[in-house]
Structure 1
Amino acid sequence: MAEIVIKNVRKEFGDFTAVKESSFTIEDGEFFMLLGPSGCGKTTTLRMIAGLELPTSGEIWLDGEEISQKPPSQRDIAFVFQMFALYPHMNVYKNLSYPLVSQGMNRAAVRDKVDEVAGILGIRDILKKPVGGLSGGDRQRVALGRAIVRNPKAFMMDEPLGALDAEFREHMSEELRALHDRMNATTVYVTHDQLEAMQMGDKIVVMNNAVVEQFGTPQEIYDKPASMFVADFIGSPSMNFLGFDGTVPEGTTSVDLQGQAMAVPRQIEGAAGKMVFGVRPEHVTLSDSGNYRGEVVATEYLGTTQIITLETPNGELKARVPSGQVATTGEKVGLGFNAETITLFDETSGRALRSDLNNGVLSNG
């Protein structure tokens, strides 16, 4: 089993802390995403798992063995970089066979293994071609092939599709996920693209400012964000934040927005002061009636749906509604919210309050 366990891992570069006490578990066979903006610590975390960086403190376990201070050569991990890292003076066959030849495998076994991997990736027809003349997609396939040809315990991928154009990147992401499913190999994948992470990952770690903000499945992270950062980073458009001042007692099931009682999940954790009412655009409804109202300021047509931007007494709000629903700029409309989906946040800390919606996720994440 290639389970990877990260325990309180920290990485410092002089006075700069790149990763702060991170802990999570990557199950055997998972496609695991490290997601976050540039500089958040995700690539440093990946490099520590691979052995390209050593942690300042903490433990890294692979397949039941503590490896945090072992060199890369003793970890049996394959690394795929964004810029392919191929040998330009070799053809495709020699690039694929190089890891096996360097391990001392006999020629016949090397030929069989390269043929198997080339068949999986659909590159048998280019084995004799120099890599310098290949398209970006074919070079990425060769880079993947060189990683999987030796059957490592786990794959580390640092934005491997980042150099591809948008259309081909989407195609390759589908191929990469399908390849993972065929091989059932543990894969750790770094990306700053939340759509890529949500589409491909079994589990996601969201990082920001060297800290793990949340760890869970894509649906948990989208539906039950642990912080305002996660709620804002995940989703397009992102979660709406309506600010209000008030007290949220334990057990409450509604909050006051400009004198209007808005239903929320039962709150397990209370708070007081500057609060935020969080709601996804698809959980907002528009109607002719209703005492809580907003003014339409813009519409964006998306085919079957449209995004309506409104000004409310508590801030700007976006609603995703059917494209057939009429909304005229300047019109004031009633607003309703799906109470079961609401998350309340403490504005100062940015942390989500525990409720019936997110209690298990926030307790265990």
Structure 2
Amino acid sequence: MAEIEVRKLRKVFGEFIAVRESSFTIHDGEFFVMLGPSGCGKTTTLRMIAGLELPTEGEILLDGEDVTFKRASQRDIAFMFQLFALYPHMNVRQNISFPLRCQGTPRAEIKSRVEETASLLRIDHLLDQPVSRLAGGDRQRVALGRAIVRRPKAFLMDEPLGALDAEFRELMTEELRGLHNRMGATTLYVTHDQLEAMSMADRIMVMNHGVIEQLATPQEIYDRPATMFVADFIGSPSMSMLHFEGAVEPGQNSVPMNGSRIPVPTLREGRANGELVLGVRPEHVTLSDASDFRGEIFGMEYLGTTQVLTIQTHHGTIKARVPSDNHVAVGETVGLELRSERLVVFEGEKGRALKSDLYLTPDRSGQNRREGAHG
């Protein structure tokens, strides 16, 4: 397997800029996910790495070799599409072995590698079955097998679970991550589904309008979003945004809201007068009669052990995930307490998170180090 390095990659279609000066590294053996909405540039980036699109500017290195303008067939990369693209007139064995037969691999080696791959994917009992009779999950395994059997340097997957129903998608998410762990493969995976990304990725690169918004581990992206876009895109429900006007200074540990002060992690940078936004996750909101920060409930979503309340305040709408045995009703005014050490302050105009003690995390030696908001 191999490391993939992308340097200042840019792609322009006419006057439309699809990818803007992207630079990142996918480490050897890493499960790396590109996440974002449709049209954000993630598939275009993937296609440039695969050799299916040529970049307007920038470099792509595979295992230290510059492959920027090499053909896809010269890159030793296996590409897997959303559609299975299996050969319907062939059985499972023939589909999996097809790349090896095209390369002129000896028959004995083909047989050995196909059986090894089928065993790895737990479809060895289906090798002589026609693919037209297989369920969606098994067809996906066959498509994976055809990619794996080549033993490429890296696997590139463009929303491979998008054609599956919810039950098979959840199963295949577990299977893909388990397969990655067994193989130690370098994998680049593209999706718009945050649940797939959060459950499988070692690191996630969130994109929007061709720009990398944040590159970090799933936990870092959820706990410490670098921008308002990331905070809104990640999480279900997403982070609530409460707007207020004012100025903040380095060392400040509260912000003005609702006629009082809301404690926040100590800020490490300031912001002049203007719109600011306080971000809070639903699970970091609790109900409290003693709180001066109040709002009116206008929505309730029952989720079994918890319920999600939608509450209107003077500073915007806030979601609160509370136990189901909290007896409240639509139209009721409630007091709100926010978990101060988990709050994020954003610049309203730029949407960028202000650095604070929230972005201080322990390193391996146990010492605190400050991380940039962009990981």
TM range (shorter): over 0.9
2:249 is equivalent to residue 239 of structure 1: no
Secondary structure of the residue that 1:111 maps to in structure 2?
A: helix
* Cα distance in structure 2, aligned partners of 1:17 and 1:153: 30
1:364 offset after TM fit, Å? 5.5
Residue identity in the other structure for 1:217: T
* Cα distance in structure 1, aligned partners of 2:89 and 2:14: 38
RMSD (Å), alpha carbons: 1.2
2:25 is equivalent to residue 25 of structure 1: yes
* Cα distance in structure 1, aligned partners of 2:17 and 2:234: 25
1:363 offset after TM fit, Å? 5.0
* Cα distance in structure 2, aligned partners of 1:313 and 1:17: 39
Cα shift readout 1:58-107 (whole Å, capped 9, x = no counterpart):
11111111211111111110001110111222221111111111112110
1:25 offset after TM fit, Å? 1.2
Match of 1:255 in 2: 255
Structure 1: gaps (5+ residues): none
Percent identity between the two aligned chains: 63
Secondary structure of the residue that 2:357 maps to in structure 1?
A: coil
Matches within 5 A, 1:281-320: 281-320=282-321
Match of 1:345 in 2: 346
Residue identity in the other structure for 1:13: F
Asked if 1 retains the 8 angstrom alpha-carbon contact of 2:136 and 2:168, the reply is no
Runs of 4+ in 1 over 2 A off after TM superposition: 358-365
Asked if 2 retains the 8 angstrom alpha-carbon contact of 1:2 and 1:153, the reply is yes
Matches within 5 A, 1:152-191: 152-191=152-191
1:362 offset after TM fit, Å? 2.8
Aligned length: 365
Asked if 2 retains the 8 angstrom alpha-carbon contact of 1:213 and 1:227, the reply is yes
Deviates more, 1:291-300 or 1:207-216: 291-300
Asked if 1 retains the 8 angstrom alpha-carbon contact of 2:216 and 2:374, the reply is no
* Cα distance in structure 2, aligned partners of 1:160 and 1:240: 31
Structure 2: gaps (5+ residues): 361-369
Asked if 1 retains the 8 angstrom alpha-carbon contact of 2:353 and 2:373, the reply is no
Cα shift readout 1:98-119 (whole Å, capped 9, x = no counterpart):
1111112110110010000111
1:164 offset after TM fit, Å? 0.4
Asked if 1 retains the 8 angstrom alpha-carbon contact of 2:225 and 2:373, the reply is no
1:14 offset after TM fit, Å? 1.6
State the TM-score, normalizing by the size of structure 2.
0.95
* Cα distance in structure 2, aligned partners of 1:64 and 1:347: 41
Match of 1:362 in 2: 372
1:224 offset after TM fit, Å? 0.5
Cα shift readout 1:311-336 (whole Å, capped 9, x = no counterpart):
11101111001111222222211111
Residue identity in the other structure for 1:355: S
Residue identity in the other structure for 2:355: R
Match of 1:110 in 2: 110
State the TM-score, normalizing by the size of structure 1.
0.98
